[in-house]
Chains A and B, each alone.
Chain A
Amino acid sequence: MAKVGIVLVSHSEKVANGIKEIIMEVAQEVPVATAGGTDSGEIGTSFVKIVAAIEEACTDKGAIIFYDLGSAMMNAEMAVEQFPEKNVRIAEHIAILEGTYFAAVESSMNKDVEEILSALKNSFQHSK
């Protein structure tokens, strides 16, 4: 059964890959794709890399994107707009490591995108 995919968008390739390593310990069967750093491997994010990561991780059930800093989110939004037919959503204002870990576990239990997003919200978004 297809599981919700996870896309990791970080300003750093090492951060994205490091988080992926941590997640793979708990949820090997969940598709996880990374988009870390710019096209030339520098600090930053790449719209092109995010588009490719969505293509890699998104299943029939969809995918959730996690990002680290603000400009990563803008690039993630633009990338999502390239896939109007896919159920790709961005986890907004969720810490990337805790969020992806939590979502990977939820996804491995066959939860759908909406269920995972609302569980994330309940667990991580406390009133300010």
Chain B
Amino acid sequence: MRLTVEKTINWMERMNEIIAEQKEFLTDLDQAIGDGDHGINMARGFQEVIKKLHMTNYSTVSDVLRDVAMTIMSKVGGASGPLYGTAFLKMSLALKGKEEVTLSDVAKAITEALNGLIQRGKAKPGDKTMIDVWDPVANYINELKSFDPDGIVQIAREAMEKTKDLQASKGRAAYLKERSVGHIDPGATSSYYLFLALSDVMKEGD
């Protein structure tokens, strides 16, 4: 695989489409165990991302991801602002100076993003957060010899679904204690969409 500037922009456009389609669903999930703003925040954030990306010319994937991070950090008010901001910023830093972004670069970038999320959110796998999706995806992609879009989507979807049975111990849902069980985590869901969007774009071929 080769992640180009164009593909990265397409990735964000696809993410924006999926989030816009699923806005109500994300809001419903967040109303069950959070503060109910995840769908609105993510939809507004990615709309702003697309606006920014269309106004600028990019020569590296790292620069695209840096602007994605900065836009999300400044435009998204809930926890998803600093968390997705950190994830994209770490990916940008991991790819800095790279003209060509290969599968192993992407694997490294996703691992760095995961480490950033763990540090920023002070959560670990099993806490019923977005990390429950990022962690297995990072592990899986690091073992791949060639990019496997369907495999990544499957891993991410299963990981997202598994958050349903977990009790939250980080984030707003943690206040609900055992009442958080039985609901899929909204951040895990939007993270699944991010990897779904990446797979969709990579399936279109180089």
Whether A44 pairs with B37 at a CB distance below 8 angstroms is yes
Cβ of A74 and Cβ of B79 under 8 Å apart? yes
Nearest CB on A from B118, distance (A): 12
Q: Which of A37, A42, A74 contacts B83 (CB 8 A)?
A: A74
Majority secondary structure of chain B interface residues (helix, strand, loop or mixed): helix
Interface residue B85 (Cβ < 8 Å from any Cβ of A): yes
Q: CB within 8 Å of B: which of A23-48?
A: 37-39, 42-48
Evaluate contact between A48 and B74: CB separation under 8 angstroms.
yes
One digit per residue, 1 when the CB lies within 8 angstroms of any chain A CB and 0 when it does not, for chain B 141-169 equals 00000000000000000000000000000
Residue of A nearest to B174 (CB): A70
CA distance A65 to B147 in the complex (A): 44
Report the Cα distance A46→B86, complex, angstroms: 14
Category for how many chain B residues contact A = 10 to 19
Instruction: Report if A44-B82 is in contact (Cβ < 8 Å); known contacts: A69-B172, A70-B172.
Output: no
Residues of B within 8 A of A55 (CB): none
The number of residues on chain A lying at the interface, defined by a beta carbon within 8 Å of a beta carbon of chain B, is: 17
Q: Which residues of A contact B82 (CB under 8 A)?
A: 47, 71, 74-75, 77-78
Contacts of A78 in B (CB 8 A): 73, 82, 85-86, 120
The answer to whether A74 touches B120 (Cβ under 8 A) is yes
Apart from A74-B86, A74-B120, list 13 A-B contacts with CB within 8 A: A42-B77, A44-B77, A45-B77, A47-B73, A47-B82, A48-B74, A69-B172, A70-B79, A70-B171, A71-B79, A74-B121, A78-B86, A78-B120
13 intermolecular pairs with C-beta atoms under 8 Å apart:
A43-B35, A44-B77, A47-B82, A47-B85, A48-B74, A71-B78, A71-B81, A71-B171, A75-B82, A77-B82, A77-B120, A78-B82, A78-B86
